[in-house]
Amino acid sequence: MPVISLMTDFGLKDGNVGVMKGVIWKIAPEAQISDLSHLIAPQNIREAALILARSAPYFPDFSIHAVVVDPGVGTARRPMAAQIGMQYYVGPDNGTITLLLEQAEKTGQETRFVHLDRPEYWLPNVSYVFHGRDIFAPIAAHIAKGIPLDALGTPYHYPARLELPKPVKTETGWKGEIIHIDHFGNVASNIRVENLGEMLKTPERFIVRLVGTETCGLVNTFGERPVGELIALLGSTGNLIVSVVNGSAQARLNVKVGDSFEVIFE
């Protein structure tokens, strides 16, 4: 049975997510639907790109990921379907697949993109403001039914990409920034395990500096330090994070996405 994941900034109050599922099941009743997230911050394409990139690799081959975080809905931005490696993506061409494209280029995966310009695969009446229901949900369902990408639209080669911040090597470590704050208030940076390399062999020499506050050492788990202590560790996706044991680093430090995040190695 085909798997379709849904990620939106719709929230759960207004029925929009349920309507998209209804559209999918009407076309492809055998589809399994996974709710990846519907609590992306409104219009936050970067957050959607980050969560998609860290989640999609865990899905089965030939899964279809419908991502509808679409501040440009109804404008000239392209509706898109894509294949990256062994998975499919449906949504506005606004950069949500940026990190997946970067990984595909590193590993030599095949990529294909089509402009969804064949209305016979949409719902008959298309709203200016709800393409998730009227275009993207039916397209995801048609892919699940086995319709090839080239039948759904016109191929093209250069999808939109986001300019995402990269960490910078310094004389004493790395300087990056906060890219995500999760439900628990853990603060994630764009400094990753592959940046730190040999530094990880001596974790006691780490100092993480964040809005004038420092943590000493790098731990593996929350349980290594007492409740309420500010700690640094590698998150499950390989990003360096700052947390409070059984608490919220965001609330403690009053930080936001985009704030500086620095690693010093002494």
Q: Cβ distance 261 to 176 under 8 Å? A: yes
At residue 266, the pLDDT reads 83
At residue 71, the pLDDT reads 96
Q: For residue 54, what are its two tokens?
A: 């860290």
At residue 185, the pLDDT reads 97
Tens-digit pLDDT string for the chain (266 aa): 899 999 999 999 999 999 999 999 999 999 999 999 999 999 999 999 999 999 999 999 999 999 999 999 999 999 999 999 999 999 999 999 999 999 999 999 999 999 999 999 999 999 999 999 999 999 999 999 999 999 999 999 999 999 999 999 999 999 999 999 999 999 999 999 999 998 999 999 999 999 989 999 999 999 999 999 999 999 999 999 999 999 999 999 999 999 999 999 98
CA 254 from chain centre, in angstroms, equals 23
Output the CA torsion sign for 70, 76, 81, 82: negative
C-alpha separations of 2 from 16, 20, 140 in Å: 22, 16, 10
Q: For residue 10, what are its two tokens?
A: 């719709």
At residue 1, the pLDDT reads 86
β partners of residue 175 = 168, 262
CA 114 from chain centre, in angstroms, equals 21
At residue 125, the pLDDT reads 96
DSSP for 97-143? Answer: THHHHHHHHHHT--EEEEE---GGGS-SS--SS-HIIIIIHHHHHHH
At residue 240, the pLDDT reads 97
At residue 118, the pLDDT reads 98
